[in-house]
């Protein structure tokens, strides 16, 4: 038989693609004449217990489910009422039915006698679970042997239909408590609820949880159960509609899986601030937490040296490398430190104070203007221009692009990043910013740190010509009948105040960085769509454990941007990686799939495409 207690719980949520639940039990005339009591079980005649509600769904922007529910079946023993068995007879009854279940399932069940007796004494009129979350094959084997004592109890469990896709954003759930086994009280939950423990599941937990229903069970004066029914069906939780595009999210995670051991990719709509994809690698499958994760599995995730539980896209920070030259050039041009025609020598090295700073290329590249310097990513050019511009204007324009502050997505633990100023330098190094510090900042190194999300946000601002939109991950929260409960509208926070001529010049330089012969990001170029971008390579961490952060960030199409992006490749300790050869190919892979062109994979970049 199917135990009817939870049947109407399944009726409470009618989302598409979910299984049809069993019918709701009907009331009996006798039940209505009995008054509720809050006395102990042996004297009780009526109980009203709480039914947990199904959690709301989490979907992408088009309604594709990212988190939803499935019917799960637990095998139970129903003890007969009145509850007048001796301990020996209660154990014998349970053992007989457990033995039948074991024969039907083909494997042993571990059910301690102490648990059986504790349940019988404290809550014996409720079903006693002996096996959880049976698969279809197990349910099929049980059908022929289910009796009045053995029953299947249906409940809802969380399911993540795309497995690990967007797992770092969705998060996971966990039970709020273990199965209750104490003396039952009116108002108790019939089984433990689940709550969000990470990601959107945690942030929107109250809205996703829903409202309890009520289940009523009655007994006659002899302790015989006379009826049971749902008097108030549970109300399912609200649905959370994100800004994510599931297809783009999947492409981003596949690109990371194919090209990177660790990294992140973020894609934003520059015309709204909507996050279309935000992938961290490696990641985890939230289904591993359903119905609960074993201690061994959780420990393995925690101890994995690649830290799959870390959402690198928004919670980890890295030096931006040469991608930061976009902000430096913007500051230099807007403050008048340089003009578009000013030229500086791109020499192999430059002495600043007592330190010699090198260009990533070892040959003299001659005199370059801004567009040429950004295209070739000449370090020594930017050392000179950065020092002439000064640290304060550079930090000011970087802040206008969103660096140094949380983007404000509804996820816990978002990192601030870091824009070092004199106050920070005095606290950390005991001095003000010096010329060597500015040189380091001018190529995105030193004490400067950004998140991949901040990087993509800055590129969205550059792409649209200077409008800073509030970055958005959730569009709205709505009921199962599509009534909007909360909406998060597209909002322009400010204009950064850059001259349109400067932005046009910057766009052209970023197009050349991808497409010109001297550019550094050929592996992201497309045959029929113009891509604008900037590569970057930076070292971070202590010398003995130094790693490389390889970046590629930009927007596409260059003339009418639809997507702004940032890709980060996190190298191993001691290994070499470059933005042009490690990060740009990941974006190239996504763009070729997105724009649907029959473009073959680009060949590996030559030596001059490695910054």
Q: Considering the chain, what is the average pLDDT of its residues?
A: 89
- Evaluate whether the domain defined by 4-242 bears CATH number 3.40.50.720: no
Residue 437 burial class via C-beta count within 10 angstroms: exposed 0-12, middle 13-18, buried 19 and up? buried
pLDDT of res. 541: 82
The DSSP line for 343-381 is -EE--SEEEETTEEEE-SSSS---EE-HHHHHHHT-HHH
Q: How many helices (H) and strands (E) does the chain have?
A: 19, 23
How many C-alpha atoms does 411 have within 13 Å on its Cβ side? 29
Sign (positive/negative) of CA torsion 604, 607, 609, 611? positive
Q: Which two tokens stand for residue 185?
A: 């009280």
| Strand ranges inside 194-272, DSSP E | 194-196, 213-219, 225-232, 239-242, 263-268
Q: Residue 570, SS3?
A: strand
Confidence band, pLDDT 50/70/90 cuts, at residue 436: very high
Q: What's the rounded mean pLDDT across residues 585-599?
A: 84
Q: Residue count of the chain, please give it.
A: 611
Q: Identify the pLDDT of residue 493.
A: 96
What single DSSP character describes residue 577? -
- Does residue 448 contact residue 464 with C-beta atoms inside 8 Å? no
Find the range with the poorest average confidence among 185-194, 456-465, 474-483. Answer: 185-194
Q: Which residue has the higher pLDDT, 14 or 129?
A: 129
Please state, as a whole number, how many other Cβ atoms lie within 10 Å of the Cβ of residue 129.
17
DSSP secondary structure code for residue 305 in this structure: T
Q: What pLDDT score was predicted for residue 471?
A: 98
What per-residue confidence (pLDDT) applies to 570? Answer: 96
pLDDT at 40: 44
Average pLDDT, integer, range 189-213 = 94
Are the beta carbons of 142 and 153 closer than 8 angstroms? no
In contact, 578 and 550? CB cutoff 8 Å: yes
The domain locations on the chain are 4-242, 246-594
463/531 Cα distance (integer angstroms): 11
The reported pLDDT for the residue numbered 517 is 92
Residue 138: the pLDDT is 93
Asked if pLDDT for residue 6 goes beyond 80, the answer is: no
The pLDDT value recorded for residue 609 is 46
Q: What crossing angle do the helices spanning 391-400 and 325-334 adopt, rounded to 10°?
A: 110
Distance between CA atoms of residues 66 and 261, nearest Å: 24
The tens digit of pLDDT for each residue in 473-482 reads 999 999 999 9
Rounded mean pLDDT, 423-427: 94
Residue recorded with tokens 């202590």: 542
pLDDT at residue number 394: 98
Q: What is the pLDDT of residue 176?
A: 87
Residue 611: predicted pLDDT: 64
Q: What does the DSSP assignment read for 77-141? A: E---SS----HHHHHHHHHHHHHHHHHHHTS-----HHHHHHHHHHHTTSPEEEE-S--HHHHHH
- pLDDT exceeds cutoff 90 at 252: yes
Q: How far apart are CA 442 and CA 324, in angstroms?
A: 7
Angle at 9 between CA 6 and CA 15, to 5 degrees: 140
Task: Report strand pairing: 213-219 vs 173-175.
Answer: unpaired
- Residue-wise pLDDT for 364-381, tens only, equals 888 999 999 999 999 999
**Nearest to residue 376, comparing CAs of 549, 603, 611?**
611
Q: Give the C-alpha distances (Å, rounded to integers) separating 21 from 10, 153, 228, 384, 562.
A: 5, 11, 17, 71, 43
Q: Walk across the sheet containing 213-219 and list its strands.
A: 46-51, 213-219, 225-232
Residue 255 in this model has a pLDDT that exceeds 80: yes
DSSP character at residue 563: E
Q: What's the pLDDT score for residue 579?
A: 94
Burial per residue of 398-427, b for 16 or more beta-carbon CB atoms within 10 angstroms, e otherwise: bebbbbbebbebbbeebbebbbbbeeebee
Distance separating alpha carbons of residues 481 and 264, to the nearest angstrom: 36
Give the strand pairing for 58-59 and 65-77: antiparallel
Q: What is the pLDDT of residue 20?
A: 40
What pLDDT score was predicted for residue 15?
Answer: 40
| pLDDT of 83 above 70 | yes
pLDDT in tens, 43-66: 547 899 999 999 999 999 999 999
SS3 assignment, position 201:
helix
User: What's the confidence (pLDDT) of residue 127?
Assistant: 93
pLDDT 10s digits, 86-121: 999 999 999 999 999 999 999 999 999 999 999 999
Q: How far apart are CA 335 and CA 204, in angstroms?
A: 43
Topology of the domain comprising 246-594: Beta-lactamase (3.40.710)
Terminal-to-terminal C-alpha distance of the chain: 67
- Could you report the per-residue pLDDT of 491-545, keeping only the tens digit for each? 999 999 999 999 999 999 999 999 999 899 999 999 999 999 999 999 988 888 8
Q: Is 152 exposed, middle or buried (0-12, 13-18, 19+ CB in 10 A)?
A: buried
- pLDDT category at 597 given cuts 50, 70, 90 is very low
- Does the model's pTM come out above 0.85? yes
- 3-state secondary structure at position 175: strand
pLDDT recorded at residue 39 = 42
Which of the two residues, 312 and 597, has the higher pLDDT score? 312
| Mean of pLDDT values over 381-390 | 97
Q: What is the share, in percent, of the chain residues with pLDDT greater than 70?
A: 90
Q: Is the pLDDT of residue 459 over 90?
A: yes
- How far does CA 152 lie from the centroid of its chain? 34
């Amino acid at each position: 038989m199917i135990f009817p207690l939870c049947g109407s719980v399944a009726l409470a949520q009618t989302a598409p693609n979910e299984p049809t639940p069993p019918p709701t039990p009907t009331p009996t005339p006798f039940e209505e004449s009995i008054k509720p009591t809050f006395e102990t079980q042996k004297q009780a005649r009526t109980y009203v217990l709480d039914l947990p509600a199904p959690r709301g769904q989490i979907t992408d922007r088009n309604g594709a489910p990212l988190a939803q529910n499935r019917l799960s079946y637990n095998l139970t023993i129903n003890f007969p009422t009145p509850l007048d068995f001796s301990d020996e007879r209660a154990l014998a009854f349970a053992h007989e039915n457990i033995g039948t279940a074991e024969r039907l399932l083909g494997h042993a069940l571990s059910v301690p006698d102490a648990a059986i007796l504790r349940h019988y004494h404290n809550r014996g009129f409720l079903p006693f679970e002996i096996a959880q979350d049976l698969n279809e094959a197990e349910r099929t084997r049980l059908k022929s042997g289910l009796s009045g004592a053995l029953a299947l109890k249906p409940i809802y469990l969380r399911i993540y239909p795309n497995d690990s896709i967007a797992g770092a954003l969705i998060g996971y759930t966990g039970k709020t408590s273990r199965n209750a086994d104490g003396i039952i009280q009116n108002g108790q939950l019939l089984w433990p609820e689940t709550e969000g423990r990470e990601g959107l599941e945690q942030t929107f937990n109250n809205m996703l949880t829903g409202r309890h229903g009520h289940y009523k069970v009655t007994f006659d004066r002899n302790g015989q159960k006379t009826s049971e029914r749902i008097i108030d069906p549970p109300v399912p939780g609200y649905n959370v509609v994100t800004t994510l595009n599931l297809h783009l999210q999947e492409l981003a995670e596949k690109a990371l899986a194919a090209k990177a051991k660790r990294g992140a990719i973020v894609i934003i709509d520059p015309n709204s601030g909507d996050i279309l994809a935000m992938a961290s690698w490696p990641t985890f499958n939230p289904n591993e937490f359903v119905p609960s994760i074993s201690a061994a599995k959780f420990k393995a995730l925690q101890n994995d040296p690649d830290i799959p539980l870390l959402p690198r896209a928004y919670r980890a920070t890295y030096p931006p490398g040469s991608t930061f030259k976009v902000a430096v050039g913007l500051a230099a041009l807007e403050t008048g430190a340089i003009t578009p025609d000013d030229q500086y020598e791109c020499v192999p090295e430059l002495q600043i104070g007592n330190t010699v700073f090198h260009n990533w290329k070892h040959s003299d590249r001659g005199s370059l203007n801004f567009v040429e310097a950004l295209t070739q990513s000449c370090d020594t050019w930017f050392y000179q221009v950065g020092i002439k511009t000064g640290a304060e204007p550079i930090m000011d324009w970087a802040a206008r692009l969103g660096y140094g502050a949380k983007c404000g997505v509804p996820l816990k633990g978002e990192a601030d990043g870091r824009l070092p100023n004199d106050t920070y330098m005095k606290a950390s190094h005991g001095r003000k910013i010096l010329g060597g510090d500015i040189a380091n900042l001018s190529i995105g190194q030193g004490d400067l740190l950004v998140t991949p999300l901040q990087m993509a946000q800055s590129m969205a601002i550059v792409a649209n010509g200077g409008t800073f939109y509030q970055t958005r991950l959730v569009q709205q929260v709505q009921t199962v009948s599509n009534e909007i409960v909360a909406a998060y509208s597209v909002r322009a926070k400010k204009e950064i105040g850059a001259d349109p001529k400067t932005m046009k010049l910057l766009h052209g330089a970023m197009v050349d960085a991808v497409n010109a012969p001297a550019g550094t990001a050929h592996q992201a170029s497309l045959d029929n769509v113009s891509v604008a971008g900037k590569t970057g390579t930076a070292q971070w961490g202590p010398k003995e454990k130094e790693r490389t952060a390889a970046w590629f960030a930009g927007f596409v199409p260059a003339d009418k941007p639809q997507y702004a992006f940032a890709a980060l490749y996190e190298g191993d300790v001691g290994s070499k990686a470059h933005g042009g050869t490690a990060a740009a190919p990941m974006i190239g892979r996504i763009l070729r799939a997105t724009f649907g062109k029959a473009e073959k994979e680009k060949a590996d970049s030559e030596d001059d495409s490695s910054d």
